[in-house]
Each structure stands twice: as structure tokens, then as C-alpha cells.
């Protein structure tokens, strides 16, 4: 016979600074919940209860101890609970969901003794644990006031339990949710997007964060462990449960690697525009018309980088669609493979505009660093796009070493030399073919160029040369010199700069 254990001194053990309580006795044995409390007394606190991942087969509560300890240090009562899993208890996910539901009930029944404000509780967990929390609460369990979910199982059909799937159980008025998931989580990302979209349709808040290039379970390891805790902390601040900064070492810097997808965005990932090459398409919510398209080309010295999380999400809020493109890197293929890929992606996007619901009559291209070079080349060497936003991209590779830099651009292993497959000064013919200035005519599209005058990676003169050549050819070009700025950074996405970009796009793409 199973029973819930009420809080009692006899049921408490102390392990590594936390309280350990028996919350349930199942046929297979006792189940414990580990509680981390803030120091000192005071009024009742918000609470968070986590459940571990492991495919309902394995796992331990220790997975979420770092999250619980952080929340306790910030004044929240945090707990991590056991539930039955197949490897230890020979049970199914249905019994797991029952255990998660019972742990929630235990915490609420013992709220007074634990110092918990029962009106402010969050349920959460990772992978199967997130699914266990969702299934337990949405299928007859106590609803929380917030969700803290890390690549959660949102659809239980994989486990032959469709009736426990959060995507079908969610209704209007569900609690605000934080969901973090890696862009390379091939199994669960599509289902998580479906769950987020379902909640957005219902008017529920879901903050969806994407970790670029990360697989399932990314949040267990640094730097994403700290980044995930930072995202959780900010989310709880937004609810009024916490105040001030998280105090996490480098938390803000690490979270900058992730990006929050605006609510109601339609994400169509990994669309194949050429064999083995893909783009991600983001469509804005309720644009009122077919949105104009901006193609984003990532940086990374032509040898690294990812299309994941383009820093262009403000464009979605302004009603633009965004396509973020992958291209062959220099260790895979030498120039001109990179521009050939970007040009092929634009051609594919024009061909499939009606199918995906955006307006491809006039397309803009935007890219930083190596991506800035490619969009500049796209703009000058053909009629592929109608506007270009070039963020600190190289132009004349043969002159890039003429100005102070932290990189020896003429070296055989420099990014530029690796791009063309030879030291740039030894093969000026190849370097010249990669120079967007060489292709400028009076028919080139308008340019907006942004570059920091203290850039020690791509010298400032590279944008000066391009801007001057465009003006000499009679092409509209606007140059924003970022005084004191280096190679990228938050200043390039300030409200002022983003306002300039949107004004430029509105004039040349939406006209």
C-alpha cells in the first residue's frame, strides 16, 4: 500500500546541507524529496520543485542540486525529488507521473512547515523530469504558478501515453513557463516548439530559449549550466519572485550565447536549400500581411559559427521574416563555395516564398564579420538582394594586413588564407576574387555598414574602403562608425543601432 508521508522529525535526514524527507512509500520502497532552504527566517518564500531526467529509465535528484542550491541562496525554497524509474523499480512512465504528482502534493501539504508560500510554487525538471512534472500537474495534479523546464518531454506518445501529453493537456490560463532547449536536440525540439506554439495560441506565456548548436541535456555542463541558471533567475525576477542580479559568475555573459525566441514565432528549422545544406526560417506572429524577408549569414572567420540563434529577433517583432543560413566552412571547401551557398540559399528562398508565406519581392541580407563579407559580396556581385547590412566584414583581403590587428592576416593559417586555400599575399589573384569592391557597379543595392573603430580583428579600414568605393560608383551607402567599439558586442544591438537598421530596411525593402 502506497502512502504519503507527512513531515516529521523522524523522516528528516541531513545530506550535504539539505533536508531529506520521505514523501511517499511505494511498493518498491521509499521515495525522498531533498529540500534546500534559504538562510534565516522571515515570511514564507516561493518554492521550486525539480525532477531529474533519464528517459524514465534512470537518473537521480542530484542532477538539479546546483539549481536548487542557487535558488536557496536567492531566497527560494527549492527541492529535487525522486520518482520511480524502470531500471530500479521496473515501472512505467505512468507510475513516474504519479510519483511526481505526489511529490507536488506533499510539498503543498507541508508548505507551512517548510516556510513555503503555496501561492508561488514552480514545478520543473529536465527531459523526462520535465515531462514528469507536466504530466503529473496537468493530469489531475496541482497546477503551479510557474514552470521551469529544460528540454522537457512535452509529448508522451513516444511512451505510448498520449493521454499524458502536455501538448494536448495544456489549456488557457496555464502558468508562465521558461523552456530551454538546444538547437541540435533533434528529438524534442520540434515537439517543444509545438508545445510553445500551442500555449501562445491559448494566450499563455512561454519564454523559449534556444542554445545554439547544443544537443539534448546541454544544461548539465558548463558554460550552459550557469547560463541556464541565469535564464531561470531572470525569469523568476520577471515574475517578481526574485530581485536584483543573480550573483552567478559570468552568468550574463554566458546567457548571451542563447537567444529568446519572440512569442508566437513560427520556426521552421533545417530547411534544405541544397544537398546537405540548411537554413532556419523564422516567421513573425500575426504580421497582417506576407512579411518581407531578411537573410542572415553568420560570422566565424569562415571556419566556424552556426546559423542558430541569429541576433536578428528584433526584426521579427517589427514584422520581418528571418532566414538564417548555413554555408560550407573553409575547412570543408575553399572559396567561392561560401558565396555560392549563400546565393543558392537566396535563390531557394525566392522559389519557396509562396509555400512558406513571406514576401520575396525584395530581400535584404545581413551578416557580421565573415558573414558581413559574404553579404557584401552577395550585394555587389549579382542582383540577388535589394539591401545589405554589413557588420564589420572584411573586404579587400590584400590590404587587411595594412592596419593594426591582433591577427597576422598574411600568415598561411590566417582565416583569410584558409578561406582561399593559400597565403593571401602569395595568391593575390584568388584574394581579389573574394573582394566585394571588385564587383561594384552603379546597380549595386543600398548598403548600411557598421564597424567599430577599435576593431582589432577586422581592421576598421576594411569598411572604410568598401564605403568609399560604393559612393564613388554612385551607390547609396551609409556608414556608422562605432566610436570606441571593438569586434562586435552589445553596442551593435543597442536600440539606436537597431532603429537605424529597421529604418534602412523599411525604406529599401518595404517601399
Residue 400 contacts by C-beta under 8 Å, 6 or more apart in sequence? 394, 409, 416, 424, 458, 459, 462
CA gap 343, 382 in Å, rounded: 9
Closest CA to 479 of 489, 490, 494, 469: 469
Give the number of residues written for the chain: 511
CA gap 257, 260 in Å, rounded: 10
Considering the chain, what is the average pLDDT of its residues? 92
Q: Give the residue carrying C-alpha cell 528540454.
A: 151
Q: For residue 268, what pLDDT is reported?
A: 84
Q: With bands split at pLDDT 50, 70 and 90, how would you rate the model's confidence at 1?
A: very low
Residue 54 contacts by C-beta under 8 Å, 6 or more apart in sequence? 85, 127, 128, 129
Is pLDDT above 50 for 29?
yes
CATH of domain 3-259: 3.40.50.1820
Asked if residue 335 lies in contact with residue 433, where contact means CB atoms within 8 angstroms, the answer is: yes
Is pLDDT above 50 for 34?
yes
Q: With bands split at pLDDT 50, 70 and 90, how would you rate the model's confidence at 218?
A: very high
Could you list the beta-strand ranges (E) of 359-439.
359-368, 387-391
**In percent, how much of the chain has pLDDT > 70?**
96
pLDDT digits 0-9 by tens, 394-420? 999 999 988 889 999 999 999 999 999
Q: For residue 257, what pLDDT is reported?
A: 66
| pTM (two decimals) | 0.66
The DSSP code sequence of 173-215 is TPPPEEEEEETT-TTTHHHHHHHHHHHHHTT--EEEEEETT--
First vs last Cα of the chain: how many Å apart?
72
Q: For residue 15, what pLDDT is reported?
A: 43
Among 30-44, 298-312, 445-459, where is mean pLDDT lowest?
Answer: 298-312
Q: With bands split at pLDDT 50, 70 and 90, how would you rate the model's confidence at 6?
A: very low
Is pLDDT above 60 for 223?
yes
Is pLDDT above 90 for 263?
no
CA gap 508, 504 in Å, rounded: 6
Q: With bands split at pLDDT 50, 70 and 90, how would you rate the model's confidence at 289?
A: confident
Domain boundaries, the chain: 3-259, 264-508
Q: With bands split at pLDDT 50, 70 and 90, how would you rate the model's confidence at 17?
A: low
Asked if residue 421 lies in contact with residue 379, where contact means CB atoms within 8 angstroms, the answer is: no
Is pLDDT above 80 for 316?
yes
Asked if residue 257 lies in contact with residue 305, where contact means CB atoms within 8 angstroms, the answer is: no
* The CATH number, out of the four listed (3.40.50.1820, 3.30.70.20, 3.40.50.150, 3.40.50.2300), of the domain defined by the range 264-508: 3.40.50.1820
Is pLDDT above 60 for 506?
yes
**109 φ, ψ to 5°?**
-65, -30
pLDDT digits 0-9 by tens, 333-366? 999 999 999 999 999 999 999 999 999 999 999 9
Closest CA to 341 of 305, 378, 304, 294: 378
Amino acid at each position: 500500500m502506497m502512502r504519503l508521508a507527512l513531515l516529521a522529525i523522524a523522516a528528516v535526514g541531513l545530506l550535504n546541507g539539505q533536508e531529506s524527507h520521505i514523501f511517499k512509500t511505494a511498493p518498491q520502497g521509499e521515495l525522498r524529496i531533498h529540500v534546500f532552504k534559504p538562510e534565516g527566517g522571515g515570511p514564507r518564500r516561493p518554492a521550486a520543485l525539480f525532477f531529474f531526467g533519464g528517459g524514465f529509465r534512470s537518473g537521480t535528484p542530484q542532477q538539479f542540486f546546483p539549481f536548487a542550491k542557487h535558488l536557496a541562496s536567492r531566497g527560494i525554497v527549492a527541492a529535487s525529488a525522486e520518482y520511480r524509474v524502470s531500471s530500479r523499480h521496473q515501472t512505467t512512465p505512468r507510475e513516474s507521473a504519479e510519483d511526481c504528482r505526489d511529490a507536488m502534493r506533499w510539498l503543498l501539504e507541508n508548505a507551512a512547515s517548510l516556510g513555503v508560500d503555496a501561492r508561488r510554487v514552480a514545478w520543473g525538471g529536465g527531459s523526462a523530469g520535465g515531462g514528469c512534472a507536466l504530466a503529473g500537474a496537468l493530469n489531475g495534479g496541482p497546477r503551479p504558478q510557474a514552470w521551469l523546464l529544460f528540454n522537457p518531454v512535452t509529448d508522451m506518445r513516444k511512451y505510448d501515453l498520449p493521454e499524458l501529453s502536455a501538448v494536448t493537456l495544456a489549456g488557457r490560463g496555464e502558468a508562465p513557463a521558461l523552456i530551454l532547449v538546444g538547437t541540435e536536440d533533434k528529438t524534442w525540439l520540434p515537439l517543444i516548439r509545438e508545445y510553445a506554439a500551442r500555449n501562445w495560441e491559448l494566450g499563455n506565456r512561454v519564454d523559449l530559449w534556444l542554445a545554439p548548436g547544443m544537443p539534448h541535456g546541454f544544461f548539465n555542463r558548463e558554460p550552459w549550466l550557469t547560463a541556464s541558471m541565469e535564464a531561470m533567475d531572470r525569469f523568476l525576477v520577471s515574475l517578481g519572485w526574485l530581485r536584483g542580479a543573480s550573483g552567478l559568475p559570468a552568468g550574463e555573459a554566458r546567457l548571451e550565447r542563447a537567444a529568446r525566441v519572440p512569442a508566437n514565432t513560427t520556426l521552421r528549422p533545417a530547411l534544405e536549400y541544397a544537398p546537405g545544406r540548411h537554413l532556419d526560417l523564422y516567421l513573425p506572429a500575426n504580421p497582417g500581411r506576407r512579411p518581407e524577408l531578411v537573410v542572415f549569414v553568420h560570422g566565424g572567420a569562415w571556419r566556424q559559427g552556426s546559423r542558430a540563434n541569429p541576433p536578428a529577433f528584433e526584426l521579427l517583432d517589427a514584422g520581418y521574416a528571418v532566414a538564417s543560413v548555413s554555408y560550407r566552412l573553409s575547412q570543408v571547401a575553399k572559396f567561392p563555395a561560401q558565396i555560392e551557398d549563400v546565393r543558392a540559399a537566396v535563390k531557394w528562398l525566392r522559389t519557396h516564398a509562396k509555400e512558406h508565406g513571406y514576401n520575396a519581392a525584395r530581400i535584404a541580407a545581413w551578416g557580421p564579420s565573415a558573414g558581413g563579407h559574404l553579404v557584401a559580396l552577395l550585394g555587389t556581385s549579382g542582383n540577388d538582394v535589394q539591401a545589405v547590412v554589413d557588420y564589420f566584414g572584411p573586404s579587400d583581403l590584400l590590404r587587411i594586413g595594412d592596419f593594426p590587428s591582433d591577427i597576422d592576416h598574411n600568415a598561411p593559417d590566417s582565416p583569410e588564407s584558409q578561406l582561399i586555400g593559400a597565403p593571401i599575399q602569395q595568391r593575390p589573384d584568388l584574394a581579389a576574387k573574394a573582394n566585394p569592391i571588385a564587383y561594384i557597379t552603379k546597380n549595386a543595392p543600398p548598403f548600411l555598414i557598421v564597424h567599430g573603430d577599435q576593431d582589432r580583428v577586422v581592421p576598421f579600414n576594411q569598411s572604410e574602403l568598401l564605403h568609399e568605393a560604393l559612393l564613388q560608383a554612385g551607390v547609396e551607402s551609409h556608414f556608422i562608425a562605432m566610436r570606441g567599439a571593438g569586434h562586435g558586442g552589445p553596442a551593435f544591438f543597442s536600440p539606436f543601432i537597431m532603429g537605424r537598421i529597421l529604418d534602412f530596411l523599411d525604406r529599401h525593402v518595404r517601399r
